[in-house]
């Protein structure tokens, strides 16, 4: 059995949230450049599928077709909620909402993931974790409000923002499914299956928007491939591994960093300004996540996701 420092997986999930933070300004730019949102959704999913297939080939993962048939339904549901569904609602929402506020609305899922993981998966739910999540969410809110102040506008919630709240709910459901079923197939094989299912779901839509591909320019193609390979492919791999080892509620809490990263990358790529209120919000997010996670328990059995002190038999054999 493998033993790893839990902090390694914390760092992995934080890196994942940073990668996802780049997706919001990238997709926002694609929408503002005139690309059809539905074409963006399809090409992001198909780019991520290409990444997953390449990963399966390079890693020489064994493709167990009987296991794939047995686990098709859970991975299909993961595709509908986590890739096709979430990417669709996020992209449509970014057509009407600024990247910073969109990341706040879609990134508010820790409030959903923590109680749902306790209710359906039996993960530990404490007042300390709840307080930490709420502090982080307040920090996210300050980050977004500060962004509106920097842009010279007021924070206004529109009916279309409900779309992004729906994205947060889908991501929470996806995280629970990943924790429950995500270790039934090798990671790259499972990722490829999920994106194959997503591609099949989006196929009728793709046939409708495919003719628009002729109008794409080089910069649009670059950002489509980037958003599919990096936030899509690498991001999903690291997230799924983190959820299977650390649990849905822990990773959901760490996901509070994502709107902060989205704000930083929006400054870099979209020229948005940062004000002191956003810096205070980012500090609150860090404080809230640290308070929710508490001390780091060492080490972790990556095959089961449990701390070794929870596995007497394994510990006795060390």
pLDDT value of position 182:
81
Lookup result for tokens 């991520």: 48
Q: Are 181 and 245 in contact, with CB atoms under 8 Å apart?
A: no
Q: From the CA atom positions of the chain, what is the Rg in Å?
A: 19
**Structure confidence by residue, pLDDT tens digits, 225-249:** 999 899 888 988 888 888 888 888 7
Per domain, the residue ranges of the chain are 3-317
Kindly tell me if the per-residue pLDDT of 194 is higher than 60. yes
Of the ranges 129-143, 146-160, 263-277, which one carries the lowest mean pLDDT score? Answer: 146-160
The answer to whether the CB of 94 falls within 8 A of the CB of 29 is no
Q: Which tops the pLDDT comparison, 273 or 83?
A: 83
pLDDT value for 307? 43
Q: How far apart are CA 61 and CA 79, in angstroms?
A: 20
Report the percentage of the chain scoring pLDDT > 90.
22
d(CA 153, CA 81): 33
Residue scoring higher pLDDT (63 or 307):
63
- Binning pLDDT at 50, 70 and 90, where does residue 317 land? very low
Largest CA distance in the chain: 63
Contact indicator for 278, 146 with CB cutoff of 8 Å? yes
Structure confidence at residue 310 (pLDDT): 41
pLDDT above 70 (res 144): no
pLDDT mean over 264-292: 70
Tell me what the mean pLDDT of segment 157-173 comes to: 76
Q: Are 299 and 59 in contact (CB under 8 A)?
A: no
Kindly provide the b/e burial profile for residues 188-224, where b requires at least 16 CB atoms within 10 angstroms of the residue's own CB.
bbbbbbbbbbbbebbeeebeebeeeeeeeeeebeebb
Which residue from 299, 182, 190 is spatially nearest to 242, judged by alpha carbons?
182
| Predicted local distance difference test score (pLDDT) of residue 101 | 61
Torsion of CA 7, 12, 18, 24, to 10 degrees: -140
What tokens appear for 307 in the block? 């701390």
Cα 20 to Cα 242: distance, rounded to the nearest angstrom: 14
In angstroms, the Cα distances linking 127 to 97, 108, 176 are 33, 18, 21
pLDDT over 90 (residue 316) = no
Is the peptide bond between 299 and the residue preceding it cis, with omega within 30 degrees of 0?
yes
- Looking at per-residue pLDDT, the higher value among 206 and 273 belongs to 206
Residue 4 phi/psi, 5-degree rounding, is: -140, 155
**Residue 43: pLDDT above 90?**
yes
Across the chain, mean pLDDT equals 77
Residue 117, pLDDT above cutoff 60:
yes
- The predicted model gives 209-218 an average pLDDT of 93
What CA–CA distance (Å, rounded) separates 54 from 93? 30
Asked whether the predicted pLDDT for residue 157 surpasses 60, the reply is no
Percent of the chain with pLDDT over 70: 70
Predicted pLDDT at 156? 56
| Residues 56-71 pLDDT 10s | 898 887 788 899 999 9
Q: Which residues, other chains included, contact 39 with Cβ-Cβ below 8 Å and sequence gap of 6+?
A: 209, 210, 212, 213
What's the CA gap between 26 and 12, in Å, rounded? 22
pLDDT for 255 beyond 50: yes
């Amino acid at each position: 059995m493998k033993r790893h420092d839990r902090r390694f997986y914390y760092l992995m999930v934080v890196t994942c949230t940073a990668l996802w933070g780049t997706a919001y300004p990238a997709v926002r730019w694609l929408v503002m450049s005139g690309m059809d949102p539905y074409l963006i959704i399809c090409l992001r999913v198909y780019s991520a599928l290409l990444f997953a297939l390449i990963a399966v080939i390079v890693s020489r993962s064994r493709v167990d077709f009987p296991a794939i048939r047995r686990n098709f339904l859970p991975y299909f549901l993961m595709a509908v909620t986590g890739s096709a569904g979430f990417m669709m609602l996020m992209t449509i929402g970014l057509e009407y909402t600024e990247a910073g506020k969109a990341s706040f609305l879609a990134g508010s899922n820790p409030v959903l993931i923590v109680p749902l993981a306790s209710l359906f998966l039996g993960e530990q739910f404490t007042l300390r974790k709840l307080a930490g999540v709420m502090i982080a969410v307040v920090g996210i809110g300050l980050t977004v409000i500060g962004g509106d102040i920097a842009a010279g506008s007021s924070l206004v919630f529109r009916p279309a923002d409900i779309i992004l709240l729906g994205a947060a709910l889908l991501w929470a459901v996806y995280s629970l499914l990943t924790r429950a079923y995500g270790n039934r197939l090798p990671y790259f094989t499972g990722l490829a299956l999920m994106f194959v299912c997503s591609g099949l779901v989006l196929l009728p839509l793709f046939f409708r928007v495919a003719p628009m591909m002729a109008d794409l320019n080089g910069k649009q193609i670059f950002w489509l491939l980037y958003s599919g390979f990096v936030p899509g492919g690498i991001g999903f791999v690291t997230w799924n591994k983190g959820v299977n080892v650390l649990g849905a509620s822990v990773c959901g809490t760490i996901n509070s960093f994502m709107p902060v990263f989205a704000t930083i990358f929006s400054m870099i790529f979209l020229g948005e300004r940062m004000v002191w209120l956003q810096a205070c919000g980012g500090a609150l997010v860090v404080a809230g996540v640290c308070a929710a996670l508490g001390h780091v328990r060492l080490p972790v059995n990556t095959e089961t996701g449990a701390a070794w002190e929870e596995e007497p038999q394994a510990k006795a054999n060390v």
